[in-house]
Amino acid sequence: MSGVLIERQAEKLRQQLAKDLAADGAVTSEAWKAAFAAVPRHVFVPRFYRQTPNEQPAVDESTPDAWLKGVYSDQLLVVSPDVKSSSTVPSLMAAMLEALDPPDGHRILEIGTGTGYNAALLSHRLGDSNVVSVDIAADLVKDAQTRLASIGYRPTLGIGDGAEGWASGALYDGIIATCAPNRVPDAWLDQTRPGGRIVTPIATGVAVVDIKPGRRGEGQFLPVSAFFMPLRPTPRPADLGSQIADITSAVAPTRPTDLDDKVWFDGDFRFVLAAALPGLRFLSKLPTGVTIFTHLDGSWARLDNGTVAQGGDQQIWNAVEAAYEQWNDLSRPKRDLFSISVEPESQHIRLEGRGVEWVLPRVP
C-alpha cells in the first residue's frame, strides 16, 4: 500500500473510531470527539506486538491492513516487545480525559508519555504550550517527541520519575496519569493548584480527585476498570524460577478452601482486592494446576485442587477470603460507588455509609 493510500485508509478508520467512541458514550464532549477525530494514532504506534499465548508477533506497515485496523480499534496495544510501554485503550483514555474536563487554557501535566498519543490529544485540545508530559524512559520520550513534532505538536516533554511530577512547570490545573501509583504522590498534590483535578489509576480503578489547599483532596472512582502498569521502578521479586521452585517445595500446613484462582480475574472484585491487599501478586499457574500468589512482603499462598498452603509474615489467602466475604456482604459494589479521600498524613478508599475504609499505602 502506498503512503497516500495508508493515510487515506487511516483517516477513514480514525473518523470511524471517533464516531464509535461517541456512540459508546466514552467520548461525551464535542471537544474530545474533535481531538480523537484529528489526532492520528498510527503516527504514535508505528508497530505493535500482538499478544498471543506463545508469541508476540510484530504488526506494522508491512501488513498495512492489519496494522491500521489494530491501531484504530478500541484496544490496548503493546508497543515494546518487553511490554515496557503500551498505548492505552482509546475508550479508557477518553473516559479519563472527559473526567479531567479541562476548559480552554488549562495547563495539564501528563505522567507516562509512552507513545505520545495522549500528549497529542491534550495538545490538540489545549494547545501545546499548556501541556507537559513526563516519562521515566528516555528512549520513549525521544521517539514521542519526534512523532509529535512530525504532526506539528510541541508540548514540553520531560524525562524523569513521574512520582516527582515536573516541578518546573507547576502549578498545573490538572494532572493525568497513565501509569498507576499506590496512592496520589505528594509531589502531584504540591504541583496542582487548589481547585484543580488529578485523574489517576489507583487500585485498578480511575480516581478523579479534586484538589484542596494543604495536600488535601476528595474524589470518586470512575465505573471503568483500569489495569495500568505501576509507576516504575517497581520492587523486583527475586528470580521468578527460583521463587516458584521454593514455594512449590515449601512445607506448610494445608487446609481446604472454597475460593480458587478465578477470583483474581473477577474485574469488580479485583478493585476491592487491590484496595484491601495492595501488595498481592498472581505469580504463576503451573502446568500441574497449582497456582501461586505472592505478596511484596514475601508472603505466599499455594492453591492446589481445593486446598491452600501459606507461608511468610501474613496468611495472604486468609486475607483474600476475608475480602471476598466482605465484598459479597456488601452486595458486590462496583468501582464508582467508592470514594477516595486525600489527607496530608493518609489517603483512604471508602464505601460511604458502609463502614468500609482501606488505607492506601505510601509504598506497596
Ligand X SMILES: C[S@@+](CC[C@H](N)C(=O)[O-])C[C@H]1O[C@@H](n2cnc3c(N)ncnc32)[C@H](O)[C@@H]1O
List, by residue number, the catalytic residues.
86
**Window contacting ligand X (CB under 6 A); options: 26-34, 85-93, 289-297, 339-347:** 85-93
Q: Is 135 in the site for ligand X (CB under 6 A)?
A: yes
Tell me if 209 contacts ligand X by CB under 6 A. Answer: no
**# residues near ligand X by CB under 6 A:** 25
| DSSP string over 4-51 | HHHHHHHHHHHHHHHHHHHHTTS--SHHHHHHHHHS-HHHH-SEEE--
Counting Cα atoms < 13 Å in the Cβ hemisphere of 269 gives 18
Q: Tell me how far, at minimum, the Cβ of 116 lies from ligand X, in Å.
A: 6
* 123 lies in the site for ligand X, by CB under 6 A: no
Cell numbers 512482603 correspond to what residue? 297
Binding of residue 117 to ligand X (CB under 6 A): yes
Does residue 36 interact with ligand X by CB under 6 A? no
Binding piece for ligand X, criterion CB under 6 A, among 132-140, 294-302, 306-314, 356-364:
132-140
CB nearer to ligand X: give 110 or 173: 110
In the chain, which ranges are continuous DSSP H helix? 3-23, 30-38, 41-44, 64-71, 90-100, 117-126, 138-150, 186-191, 240-249, 267-276, 316-329
Per-residue cell: 291:
497456582
Site residues (CB under 6 A) for ligand X, limited to 154-193: 161-163, 178-179
Window of 114-122, 202-210, 253-261, 285-293 that interacts with ligand X by CB under 6 A: 114-122
Specify the residue for cell string 460511604. 352
Question: Is the Cβ of residue 152 or residue 230 nearer to ligand X in the bound state?
Answer: 230
Contact code string over 263-282 relative to ligand X, x by CB under 6 A: --------------------
**CA–CA dist 192, 172 (Å, integer):** 5
Using CB under 6 A as the binding rule, whether residue 200 contacts ligand X is answered as no
Sign of CA dihedral 209, 210, 211, 216: negative
d(CA 273, CA 261): 13
232 binds ligand X (CB under 6 A): yes
Q: Is the distance from CB of 134 to CB of 157 less than 8 angstroms?
A: yes
- Candidate segments 78-86, 95-103, 315-323, 353-361, binder of ligand X by CB under 6 A: 78-86
φ, ψ dihedrals at 227, nearest 5° = -95, 70
Indicate which single residue of 1, 6, 229, 259 sits in contact with ligand X (rule: CB under 6 A): 229
Identity of residue 107: R
Contact residues toward ligand X (CB under 6 A) are 84-88, 111-112, 114-115, 117-118, 134-137, 140, 161-163, 178-179, 228-229, 231-232
